[in-house]
Amino acid sequence: MKKSKDVLFVGPISPPVTGQSIAFSTLLHELKISNKDVINTNIDTRYSVFKAMIYIFNIFKMIFFLLSRNYDAVYFTCSRSFMGSIKDVILINVCSLLGVKLINHLHGSDFYDFVRSSSVFYRKILIKSYHKVHTSIVLLDVMVEQFRDFPSMNIEVVTNFYDSEIDDKFNKNNQDRFENIRLIYLSNIIATKGIFELMEAFNIICQKFDNVDLFIAGEFMSDEKMSADEVEKKFDILLESNVRIKYLRGVYGEDKIELLLNSDIFVLPSYYKSEAFPISIIEAMATKNAIVTSNYRYLPYIVNSSNGALVIPGSSQKLAEALEELIVDRDKLESIQVFNRYHARNHYSLHNYINKLSKIILS
């Protein structure tokens, strides 16, 4: 009789670092299971030829694993791009033929849009394939709507988490904040993440206040609006225009935690097409930061006036006004910071995240 579960995990491992790759990598590290195989779908190269070669290799590797192992379940993070979805369609249909339980984890807010914007022919393939998925996991109750094409699918809600090391560092930190208010942007530097609106808003703030600094940490990446190179060129121009903006490049691990612990307001004015439930926002709450983000997609289900402020996407002026209100009213800022620390500890623990996923994957 089989005593342990055999599971195949298909998803992104850092680098590059994204919220989805952090979540997937953390699950692999924390889930107590001895018999697991992993296929890393993160292709860390800008060269199209190498990307295609690795992509094809991963598909053959995936098929080989499925045909040569006796898996109890397959866990995968679904793609919302055409090329990525081809891999998913193959995975789903091979698993269905073999009778393997399929568990899909959605980390973005654009799955329904992706399916509906596909060609009529490919949309039928996607819908027919995903009807074979046993369980899909979403990050918020409202995200169930992403799978409204699949009423018979089992949907589980598992909220995101923050690194438990934050609590250890927080308890050791003396909690003395800097005299200046420190704003922090901690995400990949992508045009639609609102990075340029933030830098423009900070220029407005600097005309009124001399006690505010802006720290930016992240790597340049492309989106549908601008390439990584275009983002970097524009970023450099704005950076040179204001000496109070500090760019730290990619910051990870203990350095990231220390940076958040020494910040006051986390700013993510995102209108990124797949924005759902950023882990960075939870980490910022856990390190006692107020949150200023966009009234966009699912962000209002995570952040409200108790956590900070929501602003109109794409408006530097409205962003500057929201930040100014917190800068001026220190008592309000402190109240929000204290609340966020309490809120994160009570709702977004790593233990709860792993425990819920473990029950879903290993049941």
Alpha-carbon span 291 to 257, nearest angstrom: 16
**What would the mean pLDDT of 298-309 be, rounded to a whole number?**
98
Q: What is the pLDDT of residues 13-29, one digit of tens each?
A: 988 889 999 999 999 99
Question: Would you say residue 1 has pLDDT above 50?
Answer: no
In the chain, the N- to C-terminal Cα span, in Å, equals: 16
Which CATH number is associated with domain 165-347? Answer: 3.40.50.2000
Residues 6+ apart with CB under 8 A from 37: 7, 8, 9, 65, 69
> Of 1, 22, 58, whose CA–CA distance to 282 is shortest?
22
247 CB-contact burial (10 Å; exposed 0-12 / middle 13-18 / buried 19+): middle
Question: Would you say residue 48 has pLDDT above 90?
Answer: no
Q: What is the pLDDT of residues 306-326, one digit of tens each?
A: 999 999 999 999 999 999 999
Distance set, CA 193 to CA 130, 171, 196, 246 (Å):
30, 31, 8, 18
SS3 content of the chain, % helix, strand, coil (to 5): 50, 15, 35
What integer pLDDT is reported at residue 43 of this predicted model?
Answer: 81
Alpha-carbon span 60 to 45, nearest angstrom: 20
What integer pLDDT is reported at residue 178 of this predicted model?
Answer: 67
Strand-strand pairing, 212-217 and 181-186: parallel
Amino acid present at 171: N
> Could you tell me if 312 and 294 are in contact, meaning their C-beta atoms sit under 8 angstroms apart?
yes
Domain chopping of the chain, boundaries: 6-161+349-362, 165-347
Going by pLDDT thresholds of 50, 70 and 90, the confidence category of residue 174 is: low
Give the rounded percent of residues in the chain with a pLDDT score beyond 70. Answer: 96
What integer pLDDT is reported at residue 177 of this predicted model?
Answer: 62
> CA 252, 254, 260, 263 torsion: positive or negative?
negative
Q: What is the pLDDT of residues 103-146, one digit of tens each?
A: 999 999 999 999 999 999 999 999 999 999 999 999 999 999 99
Question: Would you say residue 68 has pLDDT above 80?
Answer: yes
Q: What is the pLDDT of residues 234-250, one digit of tens each?
A: 999 999 999 999 999 88
DSSP sequence for 169-227: HHHHS--PPPSSEEEEEES-B-GGGTHHHHHHHHHHHHTT-SSEEEEEE--B---SS--
Which CATH number is associated with domain 6-161+349-362? Answer: 3.40.50.2000
Going by pLDDT thresholds of 50, 70 and 90, the confidence category of residue 198 is: very high
Alpha-carbon span 242 to 239, nearest angstrom: 6
> Could you tell me if 5 and 35 are in contact, meaning their C-beta atoms sit under 8 angstroms apart?
yes
What integer pLDDT is reported at residue 363 of this predicted model?
Answer: 86
**DSSP assignment, residue 274?**
T
pTM, two decimal places: 0.93
Question: Would you say residue 3 has pLDDT above 80?
Answer: no
Going by pLDDT thresholds of 50, 70 and 90, the confidence category of residue 261 is: very high
To the nearest whole number, what is the mean pLDDT of the chain?
94
Alpha-carbon span 346 to 167, nearest angstrom: 12
What integer pLDDT is reported at residue 179 of this predicted model?
Answer: 80
What integer pLDDT is reported at residue 51 of this predicted model?
Answer: 84
Q: What is the pLDDT of residues 213-232, one digit of tens each?
A: 999 999 999 999 999 999 99
**Which residue shows structure tokens 């909220």?**
159
Residue 149 phi/psi, 5-degree rounding, is -75, -5
> Could you tell me if 99 and 71 are in contact, meaning their C-beta atoms sit under 8 angstroms apart?
no
Going by pLDDT thresholds of 50, 70 and 90, the confidence category of residue 176 is: low
Do 6-161+349-362 and 165-347 come out as alike in CATH topology? yes
Alpha-carbon span 77 to 165, nearest angstrom: 25
**What would the mean pLDDT of 171-191 be, rounded to a whole number?**
84
